[in-house]
Amino acid sequence: MARSANQVELARIAGVSVSTVSRALSNSRGISAELRMQILQLADQMGYRSRGSTEPENRRIRMYVTTNAATGGLATFYNVLIEAMQTAAREAELNLEIRLSHDKALDLARLERDAGPDPVAATLVMGIDPPDEVLSQFGPSRPLILVNAFDPLMRFDCIAPNNYYGAHWATRRLLEAGHRSLLHVRDQHRWTTTQRERGFLAAVDDVEGAKGRIVDIRLGDDALHTAIAERQAGTADWTGIFCVHDMAAVRVVHALEAAHFRIPQDVSVVGFDDLPAASLMTPKLSTMQVDCAAMGQEAIALVLRRLGQPNARPVQVESAVTSTEGGTIAKISAT
């Protein structure tokens, strides 16, 4: 018996998104009569079978996000991401449940307790690197999608900013302004932020005579204050700083100004994420913008693809970042 088409294949041939196909097939609002008819005719020609055979009837999906991400300094980043996912899920007639996790991980007991007698069609985790004991519970029959996270072993679908090349670009902005001695301020240890650190180191390595150093502020600002004291004493010569995200940049700028350094005349600073705080700083922070809304839409597209093709090879999507001009980079004469 020939295999019937699924919504992913219909979307590819029709040249529309998977969510558009889903809405057309379910007679949802927001689709023109002409486009709906085209998709229905294509579905008939390709032998598409309705939800009972190609999609699970269960349209509930559950996403875990840490309380810190939802309420802390990065809340604006995650709120835009969540709102975009909620909109895309409604358009695809998916019921998105959001559960807050109390720490940076997702433990197995919490996962099993939530599953109970009412399983979901797919699980998403946002801004979390789940431990192996949790990841081992997922597979073709129990889909998992990672949002703003990556799986180095390539077992699961993922969507995240292009952290490596975004950081490479951010560092290059300092190098192109003539800076040759740079710091990278690390504030988290996740696969996403590790890629930012690697992008920084690669950009420094690309330029002859450039050097870079890592300053870790995860457990406090002691290392940052030490680096600033060394610069004041003349035992360090760094002039530019790339911060892992904008909230780290805020901490760095405060520490520099407290030590009477001028931004950018004495030290240039670049952030990452383009949070609202970047625009509130004086001068405005030079940073890298992440399109959180596009990431949220892509996350739901990954869910729909996985539901339509449970055994498909995992896809890892990297969303491009762009530079945002500010006033915290000054040109200097490279020596």
pLDDT exceeds cutoff 70 at 54: no
Phi, psi at residue 139, to the nearest 5°? 175, -165
Q: What is the pTM of this model?
A: 0.81
Amino acid at 283: P
pLDDT mean over 176-203: 96
Residue 55: the pLDDT is 43
For residue 306, the Cα-to-chain-centroid distance in whole angstroms is: 19
**DSSP H helical ranges for the chain:** 7-14, 18-25, 33-45, 51-54, 67-71, 75-91, 108-115, 132-135, 163-176, 191-206, 222-233, 246-258, 276-280, 292-308
Residue 46: the pLDDT is 75
Which pLDDT band, with edges at 50, 70 and 90, does 1 fall under? very low
Amino acid at 118: D
**Lowest mean pLDDT segment, chosen from 23-27, 42-46, 137-141, 215-219:** 23-27
**Rounded distance between C-alpha atoms, residue 306 and residue 313, angstroms:** 9
For residues 330 and 265, is the Cβ–Cβ distance under 8 A? yes
β strands within 112-161, DSSP E: 122-126, 144-147, 157-161
Which pLDDT band, with edges at 50, 70 and 90, does 72 fall under? confident
Which pLDDT band, with edges at 50, 70 and 90, does 186 fall under? very high
Q: Choose between 33 and 59: higher pLDDT.
A: 59
**Rounded distance between C-alpha atoms, residue 102 and residue 230, angstroms:** 38
CB neighbours (10 Å) of residue 34? 8
Q: What would the 3-class secondary structure string for 36-52 be?
A: HHHHHHHHHHCCCCCHH
Residue 4: the pLDDT is 56
Burial 60-75 (b: 16+ CB within 10 A, else e): ebbbbbbebbbeebbe
Which pLDDT band, with edges at 50, 70 and 90, does 36 fall under? confident
Encode pLDDT of 262-306 as tens digits.
999 999 999 999 999 999 999 999 999 999 999 999 999 999 999
Residue 105: the pLDDT is 63
How much is the mean pLDDT over the chain?
89
Which pLDDT band, with edges at 50, 70 and 90, does 53 fall under? very low
Residue 3: the pLDDT is 46
Q: Which of 14-18, 173-177, 329-333 has the highest mean pLDDT?
A: 173-177
Q: What is the DSSP letter of 103?
A: S
Query: Longest C-alpha distance within the chain, in Å?
Result: 78
Q: Choose between 11 and 224: higher pLDDT.
A: 224
Residue 111: the pLDDT is 80
The CA-based angle 72-74-77, given to 5 degrees, is 135
Token pair for residue 295?
């990431």
Which pLDDT band, with edges at 50, 70 and 90, does 45 fall under? confident
Q: List the domains of the chain with CATH numbers.
A: 7-54 (1.10.260.40), 60-161+291-319 (3.40.50.2300), 163-290 (3.40.50.2300)
pLDDT exceeds cutoff 80 at 41: no
Encode pLDDT of 74-87 as tens digits.
888 999 999 999 99
Q: What percent of the chain has pLDDT over 70?
A: 91
pLDDT mean over 162-174: 99
